[in-house]
Every structure is written in C-alpha cells, then in structure tokens.
Chain A
Amino acid sequence: MMTTPPFDDLVRAHGARVWRVCRAVLGPADADDAWSETFLAALRAYPDLPADADHAAWLATIGYRKAVDAYRARTRRATPTEVAPDEHVSTLGQPGAADDELAGAVAALPDKQRLAVTLHYLADLPYAQVAVELGGTPEAARRAASDGIRRLRTRLAKPATTRSGALP
C-alpha cells in the first residue's frame, strides 16, 4: 500500500533541487522567498496529493512557477523604461555576482528554453517529465534545452567585461 511520507522527508530530499530552480531564475537574493513560498504551498496541498505522485517533479514544477511569477513581478516593478536583460550593469566584485549574472542569463532565456534548461539541468527531471510541463514531446523538450544551452553560451561569451573576477 502507498503511504504518504512525512513532509519533512520531501524537504530533505528535494530542498536543494527547488533551491537550484529558484536561484537559476531569480538569483540568490530573491531565491529564498520563492523557495519558501514553494514549500508552504506544497505543505498546504500535501494531504490531498495522490499517494503515487512524483514528488521531485511536483516540487520542481511549483518552484519553477513561483520563481517565474516572482521574476515577472520584479521585472514589471523594475523597468519603467525597457531595458534588455543582457544590458544590466556590471556586478563585478559584488557577493554572489557570478551567480546573479548566470541566473540573469538563465532568466532572460525564452520561456520554453528557460523551462527546459531549468527543469532538466538543474532539477534533474527526465525529458519525459519536462515535456509534461512544457507541452509537446520529450524530443521537443530535449531540443528546447539544447537550444537554451547554446543561447546561454553565446550570451555568456559576449560581454567579457561583466565576467566575474576578471581583471582588465
């Protein structure tokens, strides 16, 4: 018989996974709030979750949605004038700056690529599960992830002046 394990088991098993997802979209400063909202929402819904639910996919997906919502809210607040995400000011020398820059690049990916990259490479979900959230086939999810990685590479290679720690 399937039983519902203590919620604490889920926090221990999937806490890092959800944090990676939130940080990839939001950067380390705002990831805490999204992580917390994710697990509170999950705790609220947990008693009604089917006993055979896949906890990794369930939590990673809630985390991804919470993070994207927070990212969109932040973008709305922060940009009265339109600024392209890759033109943000240098974060050289700030704590967590490398994380921030990388997360900024992930956040700036087109929706489908960002979802596929985050859920596959950072939440470790197989493409079959990424496809459930993305809609479409696992093969399409795989393509979205590899397109996303290619785009990240190009973006990160371009503005050498904002790369972390590099002296002129």
Chain B
Amino acid sequence: MTLAEVNLVDTPTELTELRDVDPGTLDRLQARLSAEAEDARLLDLAYTTTDSPVGPLLLAATERGLVRIAFAVQDHDRVLAELAEQISPRILRAPRRLDQAVRELEEYFDGRRHDFDLPVDLGAAKTFRRTVQRLLPSIAYGQTVSYTELATRAGNAKAVRAVGSACATNPLPVVVPCHRVLRSDGSLGGYAGGLDAKRTLLTLESRVTT
C-alpha cells in the first residue's frame, strides 16, 4: 500500500473538492489519535524515530518501558511488523512516550551521559540470553570485555557462543551496551547495527573518557 492513494473511480466534478485532503490535517489527526489512544490505554506500543551518529534509530516502548531500539540496517518497517506479531499490533507513532529515551540518547551521543536511566521492558523470560543481556549494563562506559569473560560472569564459562547470540539479539542496543563486548583478540566480533556503528560507539566512549 502506498501513501499516495490512487483514485480508483472517476469522481464527478461536484465532489472533487471533497477529495482534497491536506497532509497537515492528517498529521494533526494522527497526533490527536496517539494522545487519545494513550489516555484510553489502547496504545500497547508507542514508537518514534530519532537521528543519531549511527543513523536513524527506531525506538519503541510498551507502558512498562523501552522495548526495542533498531538501526536502519535492521529495516524499521520490518522491526515494527515483528513487534506487531510478538507483542501487539496496537502500535502508533507516539513520540511523547519516548521523549525521555530520545533525550538521554542525545546526551549520550554528545558525550554528556555515561549511564542510561530509563525504564526498560526486557520481558519476564529467565533464559540465559536474558541473563546475559541483564549483565551488559554492568560493563562501564568506555570499558570493554570479551565474550569469554562475559560468559564467565554469566555463570557458564563455556557458553561463549550463547553469549555471542545474546549480544546479537539484544533488543536495546546502545542503551544496553552490547557494543562493549569484543573478541578475546580485541577484534570487534559482530554487531546488529553493523561494525561501523560499533566502532563509532567505541570511539565516542574512548574519546570522552581519555
């Protein structure tokens, strides 16, 4: 479905005035709908996008907190479709719920913020993957650890591969700092946002601390 709607019918001239729709009207209506949906507690997922040094970021939050951050290379439309499947299709663009997250990300990219102070919604699952993801914020700003070290901290020194996949599936990159996990030889390993994004984040953090 494209934004520009095709006029499928040959409209009588009397009605052409009633076909014009000002895009500003739709923006206004959309904003009002988001606010009313929030008030009526029908907004299961609010999302917005924000620009950053690692490209446009998609942010999505439930009523409990931030649930997803995605890079452009992950395809924002695809990510929203996944969220519709996994959490709820009641999704609207509603920047208000993401105001604090956007502000903290701006501060982080400016080098003024080292820790995020945001409600996050990582779900209730007690899997090894979630254990690893909950450990990631304990790696301090500007520091790095190896996948092996993180496996040890998570209580299973042999689960290096599982640690790698926990980092790869981190739903909240940047805020939950999986970019601070490297290979034992110091090479970058992988990153959902691409290795350039990982390098950008590590450079940002090293520049400000030294």
Tell me if B8 and A152 are in contact (CB < 8 A): no
**Scoring B residues 192 to 209 as 1 if CB is less than 8 Å from chain A, else 0, what string do you get?**
000000000000000000
Give the docked Cα–Cα distance between A137 and B19 (Å).
26
In this complex, the interface size class of chain A, counting residues with CB under 8 Å from chain B, is: 35 or more
Instruction: Number of B interface residues at 8 Å Cβ cutoff, please give it.
Output: 38
Tell me if B18 and A20 are in contact (CB < 8 A): yes
Residue from B1, B3, B15, B37 within 8 A of A40 (CB atoms) = B37
Say whether A153 faces chain B, with CB atoms less than 8 Å apart: yes
Residues of B within 8 A of A23 (CB): 18
Closest to B32 in A: A36
The count of A-to-B residue pairs whose CB atoms sit within 8 angstroms is 109
Tell me if A11 and B83 are in contact (CB < 8 A): no
Residues of B within 8 A of A4 (CB): 84-85, 89
- Segment from A69-77, A78-86, A95-103 that makes contact with B: A95-103
Residue from A8, A32, A43, A122 with most neighbouring chain B CB atoms (10 Å): A8
Give the docked Cα–Cα distance between A102 and B17 (Å).
8
Tell me if B9 and A121 are in contact (CB < 8 A): yes
Given contacts A19-B29, A44-B42, contact A3 B17 (CB under 8 A): no
Give the docked Cα–Cα distance between A40 and B29 (Å).
12
Tell me if A121 and B15 are in contact (CB < 8 A): yes
Tell me if A102 and B18 are in contact (CB < 8 A): yes
Given contacts A5-B84, A40-B36, A98-B17, contact A47 B89 (CB under 8 A): yes
Say whether A66 faces chain B, with CB atoms less than 8 Å apart: no
